[in-house]
Amino acid sequence: PHFHTLMMVPPGMLNGKSYVRHERWVELWRECLRVSYDPNVDVRAVKPRKPKDGESLACATAELVRGAVAETLKYSTKPADMVADPKWFLELTRQTHKRRFVATGGALKDVLKLDQETDADMVIGDDISEGDDDGSRIAFEWKTEVKKYRRSPTKDKTESD
């Protein structure tokens, strides 16, 4: 799995008493994945900047956070990958249709919310009925030589499996 995340953590986790070393991030991610190798982990801080003339500190901070969110989200699928292999892109589109790839929680829980949810919104859910899933799955494997996931039809799961 490949994740790009934006986490709001206490300042001490990036420097100071509660600093989390890179090796510890790798160890935590390895445990979460339940793998025997050291996964790649890249942790960066969103650094504050001085407000421009006439700009409030709140506006400068909001702009920084928006930039960090945009930077985090832009790497989920690179445009070059989409045009390089049209079949791959069509399969990606089919598999990701109506899927949620952005989640927020904690202090950032409502950061992406556009409107207040109504009681009716809460009842509707994700609009995916249980009957739509017959249990079939298409398998993909990470191919190191091309640095991409590739289809692995021999590992597909069909309804009869």
The per-residue pLDDT for 32 is 92
Average pLDDT, the chain: 74
Q: What is the token pair recorded at 134?
A: 């017959």
Least-confidence region, from 34-43, 82-91, 126-135 = 126-135
Model pTM above 0.85: no
pLDDT at residue 114 in the model: 53
Provide mean pLDDT across the span 89-114. 71
Q: Are 53 and 62 in contact (CB under 8 A)?
A: no
Q: Whole-angstrom Cα distance, residue 139 to residue 152?
A: 5
Please give the pLDDT value at position 135: 63
Q: Which two tokens stand for residue 6?
A: 């934006």
Q: Which residue has the tokens 């986790």?
A: 13
Instruction: Give the DSSP letter string of the chain.
Output: ----------GGGTSSTT---HHHHHHHHHHHHT-SS------------PPPTT--HHHHHHHHHHHHHHHHHTTSS-HHHHHH-HHHHHHHHHHHTT-------GGGTTTT--SPPPHHHHHHTTS--GGG--S-B--EEEETTTTEEEE-GGG-B-TT-
Distance between CA 151 and CA 87 in Å, rounded?
A: 10
The model's pLDDT over 10-41, given as tens digits with 9 standing for 90+, comes to 878 878 788 888 999 999 999 999 999 999 99
Report which of residues 140 and 56 the model is more confident about.
56
